[in-house]
Amino acid sequence: MAVSQVYLRYAMGIKMNKKWWHNTIGYQIYPKSFQDSNGDGIGDIKGIIQHLDYFKELGINVIWICPVYKSPMVDHGYDISDYEQIDPSFGSNEDLDELILEADKRGIKILMDLVVNHTSDQHEWFQKAMEDLHSKYADYYIIKEGSKGEPPNNWRSIFGGSAWERIGNTNKYYLHIFTKEQPDLNWENKELRELLYDMVNRWLEKGLGGFRIDAISHIKKDFNYKNLPADGKDGLASGWDHFSNVEGIEIFLKELKEKTFNVYECFTIGEVNDVKPEELKRYLGEDGYFSSIFDFCHTNHRVRDKKWVNNPIEMVNELRSLLFSKQEYANGYGLLCNIIENHDLPRAIDRFIPEKYINYYSKTMLGAINFFLKGIPFIYQGQEIGMRDYPKKKIEEFKDPTTYNNYYEHVSRGDLEENVMGKINIETREHSRTPMQWTDNKNAGFSEGIPWFEVNPNFKEINVRKQYNDSKSLLAFYKKMIAVRKRKDLEETFINGETVPKYMESSGVIAYERVRDNQRILVINNCNNASITLELQEDIKDVLLNNYDQIMLDQSDIKIMPFQVVVMEMQ
């Protein structure tokens, strides 16, 4: 168990106690695609262990691993059939113990994924519930009567189609806000909640650093099951407001925290979408439900969407406002986890940089775009080497239910096949799930067998080995960024310093100062493919990071080159 020492910080009158995870650099692993150690084509825990030294050298100190529990893999692990067992395709429970131990030796903590909004339909509880709808297990799930052969209401599942599945020939339906193989748990049932807490504590006992907590804003449902006005041709309606952050969720979230996370002082990151900025304080920090939550403010922005294609700079300006607004509201309460990629999103380079501008400068600048903001930067596997989307020709080449659902949705709207594939290739989250590109050897060094998902053919060009000893590589730049964030003399400012937006009048520039006592760190990201000149208000004390070889100064003016990022300590 990590021990926290206490030090004081006053921002907006609020004291923040120092925690072991405050100056952390996180890394997310999608285990299926990270490293296969036994040639079955599927990444595994032993494969992760093989790369622990890589993380140590990068300067990573927390690793979040997507679910590795026993699962039929309908949603690639987010459908858990046994919370106590590691899925054999990933290894064994002993492998996980070894991973925790070996990571610990290198100063790295492991976060597991906690998926407690739903189980798999193969989970013993659900199987027993289906065998006997009067058993106690039936109340572990959300089962309701339909009416006149129709489901209890017309909510649409987040993954498409009705959110209700009929149970055999009965008039009863169970709720699943994701796939039908992921029945939602009934958090109103106290016995079930206690079982979940015990399970969480058993994992924490093993010495985990904590959890990333999946879909947690959905555990409370609005039990008014009336039909909503249809918002699509399917006659269904998005039930989002009726199963996201619904009033009363705070009771469950507080209880979860008190009975589990608090006992271990672990690091918890909630996957919480759609929290209004003014509500952030309920969700993160010392008094929040979680240590932190991910900032998803950019996830719907795609430079290839019609809306932005001709005005990418407008997109940057919008993003800038969103980022700064989140910073402002979180300030004084806690640290957000800052990401540009995860396993549910296409690759960041393809989302944010117009194709014709993709180069070393734009890629490094993108990496830095939110890295120095207040919060904890998380890197998604392959982001550090600039892994790219892998568009497919045919829908059959994809593997994920959401891709298929989106495809059929477009088709049912009457879109032409070639247009549909175009849209899918922009939207699909599977781009981030191609195997990690380690080398230019067979299968990019990911597996000796046949990879479960095709390796991106660009692996000969983009791989870790190629960038490892190249001081002008993206990987080398990530190492530098991490080293700057961890510099002892800057650490306090990166953790606690306020974020003060700068040069807001300059379009396409994301600039801010991190300020604490007498220290000021100025970060300027120029997202324009043109140079800009800005007036500095103080002298430069030290250039901490620069993706160009030089800084162009003319008295108090600084010329920032196309896609340049500079981080400077100011006098």
Give residues in contact with ligand NOJ (CB under 6 A).
75, 78, 115, 178, 214-215, 271, 343-344
Strand order, beta sheet including 172-175:
143-145, 172-175, 164-166
Which CB atom, from 157 or from 456, has the smaller least distance to ligand NOJ?
A: 157
| Residue 342 Cβ vs ligand NOJ, minimum distance, rounded to whole Å | 7
Measured distance CA(558)–CA(539) in Å, rounded: 11
| Residue 118 Cβ vs ligand NOJ, minimum distance, rounded to whole Å | 7
Which CB atom, from 172 or from 429, has the smaller least distance to ligand NOJ?
A: 429
User: What three-state secondary structure class fits 255?
Assistant: helix
- Cα 413 vs. chain centroid, distance in angstroms? 30
**Quick one: tokens of 560?**
């920032």
Which CB atom, from 71 or from 447, has the smaller least distance to ligand NOJ?
A: 71
CB-facing half-sphere around the CA of 370: CA atoms within 13 A: 27
Q: Are 178 and 78 in contact (CB under 8 A)?
A: yes
| Residue 430 Cβ vs ligand NOJ, minimum distance, rounded to whole Å | 11
**In this structure, what are the phi and psi dihedrals at residue 324, rounded to the nearest 5 degrees?**
-70, -35
Which CB atom, from 48 or from 115, has the smaller least distance to ligand NOJ?
A: 115
Amino acid at 474: L
Whether 271 sits among the annotated catalytic residues: the reply is yes
Measured distance CA(111)–CA(195) in Å, rounded: 20
Choosing from 36, 79, 214, 430, the catalytic residue is 214
Which CB atom, from 78 or from 252, has the smaller least distance to ligand NOJ?
A: 78
**Quick one: tokens of 84?**
């106590």
**Quick one: tokens of 264?**
């271990």
Spell out the long-range contacts of 456-463 with Cβ–Cβ below 8 A and sequence spacing 24 or more. Answer: 456/387, 456/388, 456/390, 457/390, 458/388, 458/390, 462/385, 462/386, 462/387, 462/388, 462/437, 463/385, 463/437, 463/438, 463/439
User: What three-state secondary structure class fits 83?
Assistant: strand
Strand ranges for 460-518 from DSSP E: 498-502, 509-516
CA dihedral 164, 167, 170, 174 (to 10 degrees): -40
User: What three-state secondary structure class fits 511?
Assistant: strand
Which CB atom, from 193 or from 343, has the smaller least distance to ligand NOJ?
A: 343
Q: Are 520 and 499 in contact (CB under 8 A)?
A: no
Of the candidates 550, 497, 351, 452, the one whose C-alpha atom is nearest the C-alpha of residue 41 is 452
Whether 191 sits among the annotated catalytic residues: the reply is no
* Nearest residue to ligand NOJ, by Cβ distance, number only: 78
Which CB atom, from 33 or from 37, has the smaller least distance to ligand NOJ?
A: 33
| Residue 64 Cβ vs ligand NOJ, minimum distance, rounded to whole Å | 11
In sequence order, the 6+-apart residues with CB closer than 8 A to the CB of 147 are none
| Residue 215 Cβ vs ligand NOJ, minimum distance, rounded to whole Å | 4
Q: Are 269 and 337 in contact (CB under 8 A)?
A: yes
- DSSP of 410-429: HHHTT--HHHHHHHHHHH-G
| Residue 115 Cβ vs ligand NOJ, minimum distance, rounded to whole Å | 6
Choosing from 36, 75, 271, 389, the catalytic residue is 271
Partners of residue 27 on adjacent β-strands: 63, 379
| Residue 73 Cβ vs ligand NOJ, minimum distance, rounded to whole Å | 12
- Cα 416 vs. chain centroid, distance in angstroms? 32
Which CB atom, from 345 or from 481, has the smaller least distance to ligand NOJ?
A: 345
Which CB atom, from 215 or from 424, has the smaller least distance to ligand NOJ?
A: 215
| Residue 212 Cβ vs ligand NOJ, minimum distance, rounded to whole Å | 9
| Residue 28 Cβ vs ligand NOJ, minimum distance, rounded to whole Å | 10
Plot region of 406 (φ>0 → left; ψ -120 to 50 → alpha; else → beta): alpha
Q: Are 130 and 179 in contact (CB under 8 A)?
A: no
Which CB atom, from 320 or from 433, has the smaller least distance to ligand NOJ?
A: 433
| Residue 87 Cβ vs ligand NOJ, minimum distance, rounded to whole Å | 15
Measured distance CA(243)–CA(378) in Å, rounded: 27
**Quick one: tokens of 511?**
């600039």
Catalytic residues: 214, 271
